[in-house]
Structure 1
Amino acid sequence: MEKIKQNKIWITILVIGIIVIGILLAMLHQQKQNSPEAQSSSYVSSAKASSASTSVQDKNNEKAYAKKAAKIKGHVLDFGIGNVYFTTWTKSDFVNWAKKYKATSSNQTHQNGVKESFGTTYSIENDNDTGDYPLDEMANQITSNGALSNYYETVKEFNKQNPGVNPDDIKK
């Protein structure tokens, strides 16, 4: 009878020990999941999934923009940094302007207030105070290349160079 009591005590101690070890292992596992290394790999996989999703969305947007661009008529002039405008000017209008501008004396073209809108609602202006003459640069580019590098004869042509830009965002 005494041996049975001792065996029950040992079995109870052994069961309690196994339970305590199980609890400690569960706590260790939980702590491991909350470690910076575990969170880092979780973050990396989340970032990859997000990037892949964004990439797919960008491709879908580009396809939709290309369809829109093919339907829209007009010429486009990109002044940079979100300043994209429809223009009423053709290549020949730019060439004629450049010839006229270059034929005018620099005393007249380099005055403050000399500006040109190129058939848009946006204007480029020379600044004699700072010595900044963007119209000179544009006239030189048109004379040497036959057109501005940021002029597009069609919205479709603009879209090929800028597939991520929504044609609806081109200003009138």
Structure 2
Amino acid sequence: MADEIPPVDEMHYEQLAQDALRGVVRSALERAAEPEGIPGAHHFYITFKTRAAGVSVPPDVLAKYPDEMTVVLQHQYWDLKVDADRFSVMLKFGGMPKVLSMPYTAVTRFYDPSVQFLLQFESPAMAEEAPTEEAEAEVDTPPPPGGDDGPKVVSLDQFRKK
């Protein structure tokens, strides 16, 4: 029996799925950016790679979070701007307002604990240079709480061919 050559995914379905799920993050942030803010009890834990390409974090924040950072959008955030490929938000660190800006491709985790909704993404490629001082960041936040009825995880692993 001849060895079969596995088919080549020239459509890049993994990347298409990642991009589509990042669209969910963008849509949630668009709702949060409306004048009414985030509806109901919803709030977001957004984890991202601080050195990913296109991320702008102030040097003092980058020094504290050299690899990854989680921010919370709930009651105290300002100037949330949502674009097609990135978003920015002002948060406070030690009472000092700082702006954080990042592309959706830098996001590795999006979690809304109010409804136990979780999206996890592959880690992005890291930037060759440190992020610029152009933006500044925000809030120390603990990881989402664990429990028996954990978050609903939407993972691409279940669709990967074994």
TM-score by length of 1: 0.29
Considering only CA atoms, is the larger Rg found in Structure 1 or Structure 2? 1
Higher strand proportion: 2
Higher helix proportion: 1
